[in-house]
């Protein structure tokens, strides 16, 4: 079995593959102060709770945008599972070409999403990840990563709204039935969600227009992405496990080179 791990700024998402089947997935919060022992205990306990025999895990692949926890986290994997993980980064075989001004600036999570979207859905493809930040990345028909856009995520925007104002309350991020809000809570929800829908539609159309690409598929992932995907016709596919699938694809591409 293969354990894949995506370390984000807010959450760490883990998935276990048996052959091509994603048997289970789970999340934990990203905490820079956790020790390797704490991470190891969490991982082992959750695997046991999910009825996954850790002895059957033979490979581990990690993508991370949080360098500060990598030493502790990798040590946790080594101590818990006895495996040296594959870490997605420079030199990792991905099957796509990054042709931006500085390829090393592109986060591992974005590369993984691009690999999954291109491999599963074909190119050209525009892939969005609704995470801590919202990212929009454009991959051509021949697998070239040519452009990316980054904007604040829904939770970041929501936090700014209620943390930087004196009277606005903390709210649940959901799409209200109408943009014609009648009270404070729904007015905030409308501004956040309908604002994100509008941003999504404009950025997607503008990127495809300026790149002059025809028949571009649009794929979304990320925890809050489902809310947006269900409310706009510019997103063709919402795939909540896209990043985990991308890590599986990258593992397969690198297996014989390790």
DSSP 63-107: EES-GGGHHHHHHHHHHHH----EE-STT---S-EE-SS-GGGS-
Distance CA 218, CA 239 (A): 11
Q: Which residue has the tokens 């493809």?
A: 125
Any idea what the Cα angle at residue 19 is, between residues 14 and 21, rounded to 5°? 60
- Active-site residue, from 109, 113, 137, 239: 109
109 catalytic residue (yes or no): yes
What span, in angstroms and rounded, lies between the C-alpha atoms of 66 and 217? Answer: 30
User: Is residue 222 left, alpha or beta, with left meaning phi > 0 and alpha meaning psi from -120 to 50?
Assistant: left
Residues with a catalytic annotation lie at 109
């Amino acid at each position: 079995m293969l354990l894949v791990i995506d370390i984000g700024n807010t959450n760490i998402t883990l998935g276990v593959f048996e052959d091509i089947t994603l048997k289970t997935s789970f999340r934990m919060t990203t905490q820079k102060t956790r020790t390797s022992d704490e991470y190891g205990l969490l991982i082992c306990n959750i695997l046991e709770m999910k009825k996954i025999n850790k002895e059957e895990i033979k490979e581990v692949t990690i993508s991370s945008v949080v360098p500060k926890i990598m030493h502790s986290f990798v040590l946790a994997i080594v101590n818990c599972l006895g495996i040296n993980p594959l870490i997605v980064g420079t030199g990792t075989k991905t099957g796509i070409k990054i042709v931006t001004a500085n390829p090393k600036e592109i986060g591992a999570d974005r590369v993984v999403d691009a690999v999954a979207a291109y491999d599963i859905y074909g190119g050209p493809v525009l892939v969005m990840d609704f995470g801590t930040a919202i990212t929009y990345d454009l991959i051509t028909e021949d697998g070239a990563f040519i452009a990316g856009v980054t904007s604040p995520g829904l939770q970041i925007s929501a936090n700014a709204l209620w943390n930087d104002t004196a009277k606005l309350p903390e709210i649940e991020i959901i799409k209200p039935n109408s943009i014609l809000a009648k009270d404070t809570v729904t007015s905030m929800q409308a501004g956040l969600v309908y604002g994100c829908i509008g941003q999504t539609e404009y950025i997607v159309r503008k990127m495809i227009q300026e790149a002059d690409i025809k028949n571009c598929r649009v794929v979304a992932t990320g925890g809050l992405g489902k809310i947006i995907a269900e409310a706009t016709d510019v997103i063709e596919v919402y795939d909540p496990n896209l990043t985990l699938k991308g890590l599986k694809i990258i593992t397969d591409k690198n297996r014989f080179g390790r």
